[in-house]
Structure 1
Amino acid sequence: MSLEFIAGSSGAGKSYQVYSEIIRESLAEPDRQFLVIVPEQFTMQTQKEIVRMHPKRGLMNVDVLSFNRLAWRVFAEVGGDDLPVLEDIGKSLIVQKVIAARQEKLKVMERALGRPGAVSQMKSLISELMQYRVEPEDLDEWIRRGEAAHRGRLSLKLEDIRTVYTAFRDYIDEHYLTKEEVPERLCHVIGDSTLVKDSVIVLDGFTGFTPVQHQVVRELLSLALKVRVVLTVPSSEELERGKSEHRLFHMSYEMYRKVLGLAKESRCEIAPVRWIEAGEKGRFAGSPALAYLEQNLFRSRRREAYAGEQKEITVTQAKDPEQEIRMIAEQILRMVRREGYRYRDFAVVSGDLSTYGRLAENVFSECGIPFFVDQKKAVMTNPMVEFIRSAIDMVVQNYSYDSVFRFLRTGLGDLSREETDRMENYCRALGIRGRKKYDESWTRCPRYMDKDELLLYNEIREKFADETREFHEAMHRRNTTVKSKAEAVYRLLAGHGIQRKMAEMKLCFQENGDAVSAGEYGQIYGAVIDLLDKIVEVLGEEKMKLADFQSILDAGFEEINIGLVPPGEDQVMTGDIERTRLRKIRVLFFAGVNEGIVPKPVAAKGILSEHDRQILAGDSVELSPTSKEQMYQQRFYLYLSMTKPSDRLCLSYSRSGVEGGALLPSYLIGVVKRLYSRLEIRSAEEIYRKDPTLLLETPKGRMSLLLQGLQKIPDELPGADFNELLRTLWQSEEGREEAQRLLSAVSTKNPAKGIGMQLARMLYGDKLQVSITRLEDFAECSFRHFLDYGLRLREREEYEFNAADYGSILHKALERYAKILGKREIRWGTLGDGERNRVADEALDEVAFDYGNTIMQSSQRNRHMLERIREILHRTVWALDEQIRMGSFEPTDFEFRFRTNEEVKSLHFSLEDGTEMKLTGTVDRIDDCRTEGGHYVKIIDYKTGKTTLDLGQLYYGLQLQLTVYLNAVMECRQKAEPGAEVLPAGIFYYHIDDPWIEPTAEDQRLEEILKKLRPDGLLNADLDVLKLMDHSLAPGVASTVIPVKLNKSPNKETGSFLGVGSRVADITDFETICQYADEKVREIGSGIIRGEADAKPTVSADGGQAGFACAYCPYRSVCGFDEKIPGYSYREVQKMKPEEAMKAMREKLTGKGDD
């Protein structure tokens, strides 16, 4: 029995030396067993390496094993525990069970252990306790020490941990064996094994051993002929320095010290440490700069920086992680194509494999680089797992919208994608919730749907209800066992053919060259069935609530990690700086060398905090490394990773993260920079500027170069390089298609042809029947009009209370209020506050009931909104009462509707080609006042948003409504009273609101509110008419109910009392406005029937949002409008003063102006 340490620096050739010796000795002694024990993830690679080195290209009497594989080889030979090994999933299930059973006994952790992730944390702590050979009795001792030291909180926490740990151990006793117990059981029987007896053993690739592994090493030392331990430390001086925990080789020293102690206990012969010097066969024989890095990285001694020229080490600064990976891909492809490298010669490592691994998958796949990402794949987002989880959620949440469509969107149910889309639109529009709704026939129709379509929608509903009925009934039963619930899940999977669907998806991924996804989908069904079997095995006969079963299932899903095997030999390995084991790497790309990634942030320990662990460490309790120890260990792993390549080390970092936040380089960049005086940090932009041909290596890079060249046309003719690039792209079908697409995009123009008169007639009909709002929409953007009224596109209807509903309810409530007054023969302005509010409440309640009380009461927000509407309605009817009371006008019509079958000449238009166009619309309110001087008419339009009358907007056809309504109402009144002179009094927008006013005296406050609610519009300039609208008007008075102010004395030139800001026009101006509006309506109608449908939206010349047609357009993502593309432009709307707008309208009517 002897022990020998084989020591040397990283890259010195220790493994090569010891493997060569093992091969030579195994050939000389064919009857002796030679065992090479390495970490689990290193076994396959080590086997390949020894086979490659062996002259007979076989292992013969050499075995490559991990500690776990050694155990099972020994158990197979001599027998051992036949108990099943409890894996992480089984542990989580049992931990979940024992926590639930002992919840009331816990003293301080009852709530904490009920949180998401707590089961996994407790399972990890239990594994750690077992790995470090901590017994429940040891916890009792820790508790006693804590109580003696007055650590009350920690002692209580340890009591809770002991409660769960003891229950866990009791549960598995004589039923299961944990993987942490396997080495201990191995030690009981290993002495009977001929595999180990008198064998020669090598321990390689380890940075340390856990306490349970130390037991096994002790047995190996006492049984084997020779044990050789490979140690990474460059010299005896460094080994001695390693006694200090902050030294680089402290981990190697600890491993040396503990194994040496075990050898002494076993009375082994201990040979002197054999030091391997890096020579001609060392890793860095041809790379002096890399050799210098190994000798000086993280060393405390000071040496002069490497002064020579070197190309082996580079540092690149990229814009973001994607650019980092793209540059790595370009360099790999260039070196493979030009320098004779193989893909297996490269590796990419990072401290953030979740980000860089995903990017490597995307970019390397796109570039055709074979790769393998060395990380296990979690399955929580896999469609099959989501199918099960959402199915259970449907039952737990009583078929909430989210759970139902999570289930259907997995694509694994019986409904097709089109059927799912139809059902989702229906359910969103009508608020379908609850299982009962899916079992009952659907009879309601959303606004977009015809009654005839209900049959189709009910067929889809029945199909969904049928496919989920059995599962729903099984899961909905109370007091059922875990086994019955697991069987229901299995029947759900079997009934939907999930195994077949997963196999088909695996095949699809294989055909598309996605080996990673193919591996996941090939294993997922078996992994889930194994989980269900494990749940039944552990908890099968227990009765459990569905929510608890769901938690156990989720805990199991979280533990499933799909292990993927590298699909080939010649590929780029992508991995983590700590976990991934690399051998025979020529070029290493170290990506993401940023602060916060290198060194890695130390993860929170979970159940025991860092502070707890420090206290326990002070009591000489050995557990997994503390945060401080982990920081030192990370430095050693960085040393091991950075000294893996034999040719080049390429470091890179990003200026910003994937989400755009600024990033700083890691301290490691500064450490390396100080070691090499001539090392420059080059930005990606600088590299591309000096060598743009690097972009030629990848498809996206080639397209980028092509686009840069195309963007110079026509200002600059393409050169020879551009033409050569184009020829290169044309040689492959994929490149040719992409180049053609870019060439087409560069030459894109807006055809601006519209849809033509023939198609317009097919879409809109031979006789146009349009609303004034539709004309205004056309004036804003004819393309939006085409999508709205031609193609009849609609935004998805939602079962929710939105801004449009808010306005609609207020409008209808005001209409209903007016009808109640009319029915009861009550005049406006005669009710007291209390009675007026009661009538308003009655009107609102009727409207809410008709609208659908279900949605109004469906949430606290909606209920609050209804009460807010009530307050606004009270304020509105008060303000309208006050405005009417102060004048002589009487409201006579509410929601006055013009229909196409009515003969109102001002609403009938003959367009330029003879097409007839009729306008429809509804006037919110008409007020009349009859005097000896004439019959005056006032038009009021209610707006829930702040709207002002703008004659400039009228000029451009964007505000036609009030003027067109005035024409029509005056015509109707004239017909009703042929002998009377019907004249305009004014056109108004009333803003429905309840403004907030600073607290003052009540009378003053009400007057200020009335001013805020003063309607905006245009009034007849005749002073007598103005006084009909506000009796209080007098010189020096500003009206509170109309936008008019009178000066104290008349204007010397005009004799008018009207003050600045009064919104008035004389009868001639009203006639001009009305005549212009008619012409504008005719012009817009002619544009519609001509088929104008160009994306030419209006925009305010001053850049304001008010005139920007695209601001709230739902079609912005599909119209293709882009000012940079020839043929696209905005229609500018100039800001006009009222007098400028009047002048422009007169000129247009006389033929002197243009739009």
Structure 2
Amino acid sequence: MQAGNVLPADLMKINENEDAALSNDFRDKLHDFAIIYTAYKQQIDDQYFDSHEVLNLLSDYLGQQDLSSDHFYIADFSKLTAQECRLVETLIQRGASVTVSLILDQPYRTELPEQPSLFYQSAKLFLRLYQFAAQNKIAYLPPVYANRPRVKDDLLRLETYWIQSSGLGKITADRQVDPGTIQIYQADNQYSELDQVATIIRRLVASGRYRYSDFLVLTRHLDAYAAILDPVFTTQQVPYFKDIEKSMVDHPLVDLLSALFDIKDPSRARNYRYDDVMRFLKTELFVPRDADGQPMAIADYRQAVSVTENLVLRNGFEGKRWTQDEDWQYVWIADQDDSPALTDRDRALTHQVNVIRHLIKDALPPFYNRFYKAKTNAQAAAILYRFLVDNGVVSRLEELRNAAVNQQDLTRSDEIEQVWRTFCSLLDETVRILGDKPFIPQDFWDLLHAGFEGANYSQIPSTLDQVQVSESGIVQMNNRKVTIMIGSNDETMPERIVNESLFGDDDVAQLQDSLADDQYLNDPADARWPLSRI
């Protein structure tokens, strides 16, 4: 709604207009949404700027500046939101010239192409900007066409075929191509497919005519290859960079925090359950330290956790067994038992078990006693932060970051820094917005977890000579010599677009008819379908 320049007052006005062609169900939905939208704007307007608000402020600012000697160039867009379009219109009004590069087959000055059309989105943007210039009596420069092909004739034939196949007309494109230019491979499964790709890349690089940076590997949905991409390319010794947003929600720090909130809940009868405690320990961020503050060797820690897990599973230990004063025994010998005494191995295993048990017993109960007595969110945030610092979690993250730097794994080291900065930022925002509100543990964690779910790592390639692995929906550079499409089947080409937003395609169509010219929402799925074919 914000990107479309639609404000809560606009929705209220539309909903109150009895002449608006809205269904009863949609009116009810729009009424409730407008109330939530109004409350949201009231909460953030005086404290925060989001990307949508910044665009409006930039448009207002540039509208007051002298840009008469400035020339602007805009490329790689097929559509603009209403806010983005307003910014471009401001540049058109104030600037010396604005040049926009669009992928089109012809100028669309009076009407849009008949759907389905591959060029519908770009044509819609062209028509809007052209009409805006005409209405404001701004000179329109004649169109400039890209007449010099960037690719070989075979790829042009493939392009022509896709353009014709996206419409309803007859396909007349030449389907004969040179096998040396366009090749098709078939694989039985995704692992075999990636293995073929890695082999081809290795062979071409070994020929001396290519570098790894000359290759671009694309697929519609990269998450389908998430589990096998690294092992296949690492085994084949193919350096690669995965150019896709990666969520922070799976980082060990987030898992540790999640387990910390799950281990003990005062409203729950069963606490210190097996799954929760083991998930907490296996993050390897909460490690025992000696009197000098040195962490336990990670191999010894893993062995101790493994032995403890076996004992817990064997005996069903949970709840108060973790916090009892009496040490656990890995091997129990009754007083009347005449069998041999404990061996040195048994004593060593018992020691390992109790190192882990004391790690839990000595640290968690005091934390929970303070944490669940917090009155406000600000107090809870301070207690949680101090717990992580005092128990070596922050130091452990620093050690892992430094180890990654020493191994020249800059991506992993940067991820550690980013997830910690995000955690601190989430705590700061929680305190700033809800610091004086009553502390409700589940709401507190839900807020933090939602922040991690919405946060992604900012990634940069660690070296220049790497294979780029990305999704076909992301804009790419045009300097690659070889492009390899994987996962190309009838499930993804064309893409099946499903609108999963609050407002369905019918709702958007009803609302769009009642909006002003400078307000518009995303096109329905059927208008975006032709573009998804390529």
> Which bin holds the TM-score, normalised by the shorter protein?
0.7 to 0.9
Which digits, 9 at most, give the CA deviation of each residue in 1:963-988, with x for residues without a partner? xxxxxxxxxxxxxxxxxxxxxxxxxx
1:273 aligns with 2:143: yes
Q: CA deviation at 1:298?
A: 2.4
Secondary structure of 2:72's match? strand
Q: Hey, what's the Cα distance between the residues in 1 that align with 2:18 and 2:492? A: 36
Aligned to 1:377: 246
Among 353, 362, 384, the residue aligned to 1:489? 384
1:178 aligns with 2:87: no
Q: Which has the higher strand share?
A: 1
Q: Hey, what's the Cα distance between the residues in 2 that align with 1:458 and 1:309? A: 69
Q: Which amino acid aligns with 2:532?
A: Q
Summarize the alignment of residues 45-194 of structure 1 with structure 2, pairs less than 5 Å apart.
129-144=1-16, 151-193=23-65
Q: CA deviation at 1:615?
A: 3.9
1:499 aligns with 2:366: no
Contact 1:242 1:249 survives alignment (8 Å): no
Among 460, 482, 501, the residue aligned to 1:587? 482
Summarize the alignment of residues 138-537 of structure 1 with structure 2, pairs less than 5 Å apart.
138-144=10-16, 151-193=23-65, 196-236=67-107, 243-278=113-148, 282-284=149-151, 287-299=152-164, 300-303=169-172, 305-307=174-176, 309-338=178-207, 340-396=209-265, 398-415=271-288, 416-434=301-319, 436-442=320-326, 448-450=331-333, 456=351, 457-458=353-354, 460-477=356-373, 480-512=375-407, 514-537=409-432
Secondary structure of 1:372's match? strand
Q: CA deviation at 1:474?
A: 2.3
Shift in alpha-carbon separation, 1:253–1:611, aligned structure 2, 3 A: closer
Summarize the alignment of residues 914-1063 of structure 1 with structure 2, pairs less than 5 Å apart.
none
Q: Hey, what's the Cα distance between the residues in 2 that align with 1:244 and 1:210? A: 22
Secondary structure of 1:588's match? strand
Secondary structure of 1:377's match? coil
Q: CA deviation at 1:475?
A: 2.3
Which digits, 9 at most, give the CA deviation of each residue in 1:849-878, with x for residues without a partner? xxxxxxxxxxxxxxxxxxxxxxxxxxxxxx
Contact 1:198 1:225 survives alignment (8 Å): yes
Contact 1:356 1:591 survives alignment (8 Å): no
Q: CA deviation at 1:155?
A: 2.0
Point out where structure 1 has 5 or more consecutive residues left out of the alignment.
Answer: 1-128, 639-1155
Q: CA deviation at 1:426?
A: 3.1
Q: Hey, what's the Cα distance between the residues in 2 that align with 1:235 and 1:444? A: 79
Q: Which amino acid aligns with 1:352?
A: H
Q: Which amino acid aligns with 1:430?
A: N
Shift in alpha-carbon separation, 1:263–1:618, aligned structure 2, 3 A: closer
Q: Hey, what's the Cα distance between the residues in 1 that align with 2:286 and 2:202? A: 43
Aligned to 1:104: none
Contact 1:412 1:496 survives alignment (8 Å): no
Contact 2:76 2:475 survives alignment (8 Å): no
Percent identity, aligned pairs only, is 24
Q: CA deviation at 1:309?
A: 4.3
Q: Hey, what's the Cα distance between the residues in 2 that align with 1:617 and 1:208? A: 17
Contact 1:357 1:574 survives alignment (8 Å): no
Q: Hey, what's the Cα distance between the residues in 2 that align with 1:599 and 1:495? A: 54
Among 518, 526, 531, the residue aligned to 1:628? 526
Shift in alpha-carbon separation, 1:598–1:471, aligned structure 2, 3 A: farther
TM norm structure 2: 0.86
Shift in alpha-carbon separation, 1:509–1:161, aligned structure 2, 3 A: same
Which digits, 9 at most, give the CA deviation of each residue in 1:426-479, with x for residues without a partner? 333333322x43332347767x5447659745554333211223321122216x
Pairwise CA RMSD of aligned residues?
2.7
Q: Hey, what's the Cα distance between the residues in 1 that align with 2:228 and 2:369? A: 44
Q: Which amino acid aligns with 1:634?
A: S
Which digits, 9 at most, give the CA deviation of each residue in 1:1008-1065, with x for residues without a partner? xxxxxxxxxxxxxxxxxxxxxxxxxxxxxxxxxxxxxxxxxxxxxxxxxxxxxxxxxx
Q: Hey, what's the Cα distance between the residues in 2 that align with 1:301 and 1:344? A: 39
Secondary structure of 1:349's match? strand
Count of matched residue pairs: 498
Q: Hey, what's the Cα distance between the residues in 2 that align with 1:471 and 1:444? A: 22
Contact 1:351 1:597 survives alignment (8 Å): yes
Secondary structure of 1:359's match? helix
Aligned to 1:609: 504
Which digits, 9 at most, give the CA deviation of each residue in 1:883-905, with x for residues without a partner? xxxxxxxxxxxxxxxxxxxxxxx
Q: CA deviation at 1:630?
A: 2.5
Larger radius of gyration: 1
Q: CA deviation at 1:394?
A: 1.2
Point out where structure 2 has 5 or more consecutive residues left out of the alignment.
Answer: 289-300, 335-341
Which digits, 9 at most, give the CA deviation of each residue in 1:407-431, with x for residues without a partner? 1111111343233233333333333
Q: Which amino acid aligns with 1:208?
A: K
Contact 1:146 1:152 survives alignment (8 Å): no
Shift in alpha-carbon separation, 1:502–1:444, aligned structure 2, 3 A: closer
Shift in alpha-carbon separation, 1:440–1:613, aligned structure 2, 3 A: same
Q: CA deviation at 1:504?
A: 2.6
Contact 1:394 1:403 survives alignment (8 Å): yes
Point out which structure has higher relative CO (alpha carbons under 8 A, 6+ apart): 2
Q: CA deviation at 1:229?
A: 0.9
Which digits, 9 at most, give the CA deviation of each residue in 1:1097-1129, with x for residues without a partner? xxxxxxxxxxxxxxxxxxxxxxxxxxxxxxxxx
Which digits, 9 at most, give the CA deviation of each residue in 1:72-125, with x for residues without a partner? xxxxxxxxxxxxxxxxxxxxxxxxxxxxxxxxxxxxxxxxxxxxxxxxxxxxxx
Shift in alpha-carbon separation, 1:573–1:146, aligned structure 2, 3 A: farther
Contact 2:328 2:350 survives alignment (8 Å): no
Q: CA deviation at 1:185?
A: 0.9
Secondary structure of 1:373's match? strand
Contact 2:285 2:397 survives alignment (8 Å): no
Contact 2:5 2:520 survives alignment (8 Å): no
Q: Hey, what's the Cα distance between the residues in 1 that align with 2:18 and 2:497? A: 26
Q: Which moved more, 1:163-172 or 1:256-265?
A: 256-265
Q: CA deviation at 1:353?
A: 0.9
Summarize the alignment of residues 1114-1153 of structure 1 with structure 2, pairs less than 5 Å apart.
none
Aligned to 2:339: none
Q: Which amino acid aligns with 1:273?
A: P
Shift in alpha-carbon separation, 1:515–1:625, aligned structure 2, 3 A: farther
Shift in alpha-carbon separation, 1:178–1:444, aligned structure 2, 3 A: closer
Q: Which amino acid aligns with 1:601?
A: R
